[in-house]
Amino acid sequence: MKKFINHVDTLLDESLRGFAKAHADLVEVSFNPRFVRRRAVTPGKVALISGGGAGHEPLHTGFVGKGMLDAACPGQIFTSPTPDQMLAAAGAVAGDQGVLFIVKNYAGDVMNFEMAAEMLDCPTRTVLVQDDIALPKEHDIGRRGVAGTTIVEKIVGAAAEEGRSLDDLKALGDRVAENTASIGVALSGCHVPALGGPTFELPPDKIEFGVGIHGEHGREITEFASATEIVKRMAEAIDEELQPKRGDRVLLHVNGLGATTLMELYLVYEVAHEFWCQEGVEITRSLVGNYTTALDMAGCSITLTRLDDEMIRLWDAPVHTAALRWGC
């Protein structure tokens, strides 16, 4: 699989250098250890720091800026960042109010963010995002964190910008995470540059239902079908989990995994929208596009977040990052 790269070992840094220059008004990038920070940190606020393996861009580096993250620590592709990155990022952006880590539930990420939290001498809390309902709730490593992370980071980021306390933000983050459910479908595997070939192969008539954002196995390999059938099945899985009631207000996020066209993503949105409209659920906010990718995987995920007044207000609050921007 051809890619625009020079060398597997330099890809991440060369890409981050371009990112830093393209968004020089917004971010600064440190390389040793690696982190992306907001150029202008609002004084006196809790610092919001996230991170994880690269390959999911714009998550998380594209969400650094006003009203969202103060810093993001990228690991190598599909590889957890290390505690020295979180420590350096905290050193650069955190003040007396402490640090809230937003962490997707993968063993390496959890362990490394925990180590950083223990080593920091300011107050810290962690919101663990585990929105991927492909695995059962009682799965021994828990559920994976996927596209719902964007929703958590946006809403908590807006609250942090208002100067809310660390405990407040932790409670809010948990509330958003608990009210968020996602499921993904792959039509193809993705190509990790270091591997050369695809992470997995699917026959022409099969899809991976419940795929993870690194190409992890989901619920099952099942028959390819019409978009309406696939999306209905995705929506039913989310609906069963979250059980939104008639009149509930929700945010519907259709996320592309990398190689799926915007035409298809809007079609997926249309089918999912119809599904919940027929249930009397009110889709009051939407996000359609590539936000949590899995390199060049063909596929998409659907995320639903049950909203309350506060969450809606915070979703609408101004944000200025490379990947999400409004009101600024």
- List, by residue number, the catalytic residues: 56, 214
Residue 290 engages its own copies in binding (rule: CB under 8 A): yes
Q: Select from 111, 261, 279, 280 the one that contacts its own copies (CB under 8 A).
A: 261
Residue 278 engages its own copies in binding (rule: CB under 8 A): no
Amino acid 108 reads G
Q: Select from 269, 275, 276, 315 the one that contacts its own copies (CB under 8 A).
A: 269
Rounded to a whole number of angstroms, the minimum distance from the CB of residue 78 to its own copies is 12
Of 69, 57, 111, which Cα lies nearest the Cα of 94? 69
Residue 5 engages its own copies in binding (rule: CB under 8 A): yes
Q: Select from 259, 282, 310, 313 the one that contacts its own copies (CB under 8 A).
A: 259
Q: Which residue lies nearer to its own copies by CB, 36 or 116?
A: 36
Rounded to a whole number of angstroms, the minimum distance from the CB of residue 255 to its own copies is 13
Q: Which residue lies nearer to its own copies by CB, 101 or 276?
A: 276
Q: CB–CB of 151/134 below 8 Å?
A: no
The answer for residues whose C-beta is within 8 angstroms of residue 159's C-beta and 6 or more apart is 168, 169, 172, 314
For 52, the token pair is: 């994880």
Q: Select from 52, 53, 58, 189 the one that contacts its own copies (CB under 8 A).
A: 58
Binding mask 6-35 for its own copies (x = CB under 8 A): xx---xx-xxxxxx-xxx------------
Of 248, 233, 252, which Cα lies nearest the Cα of 150? 252
**Secondary structure class of 210 (helix, strand, coil):** coil
Q: Degrees (nearest 5) of the Cα angle 45, 46, 52?
A: 135
Of 19, 67, 9, which Cα lies nearest the Cα of 40? 67
Binding mask 133-162 for its own copies (x = CB under 8 A): ------------------------------
Q: Which residue lies nearer to its own copies by CB, 96 or 205?
A: 205
Rounded to a whole number of angstroms, the minimum distance from the CB of residue 202 to its own copies is 8
Q: Which residue lies nearer to its own copies by CB, 264 or 310?
A: 264
Distance CA 118, CA 109 (A): 14
Q: Select from 57, 70, 132, 248 the one that contacts its own copies (CB under 8 A).
A: 57
The answer for residues whose C-beta is within 8 angstroms of residue 291's C-beta and 6 or more apart is 58, 59, 147, 150, 253, 255, 256, 323, 324
Binding mask 184-213 for its own copies (x = CB under 8 A): ---xx---------------x--x------
Distance CA 188, CA 296 (A): 9
Residue 54 engages its own copies in binding (rule: CB under 8 A): yes
Alpha carbon 153 to its chain's center = 8
Eight-class DSSP state of 25: T
Amino acid 259 reads A
Rounded to a whole number of angstroms, the minimum distance from the CB of residue 84 to its own copies is 22
Owner of token pair 């539930």 = 105
Helix, strand, coil % over all residues of the chain, rounded to 5: 35, 25, 40
96 to 135, contacts with its own copies by CB under 8 A?
A: none
Where does this chain bind its own copies (CB under 8 A)? 2-7, 11-12, 14-19, 21-23, 54-55, 57-58, 62, 77, 187-188, 204, 207, 224, 226-228, 230-231, 258-271, 273, 283, 286, 288, 290, 293, 295-296, 298, 300, 325-328
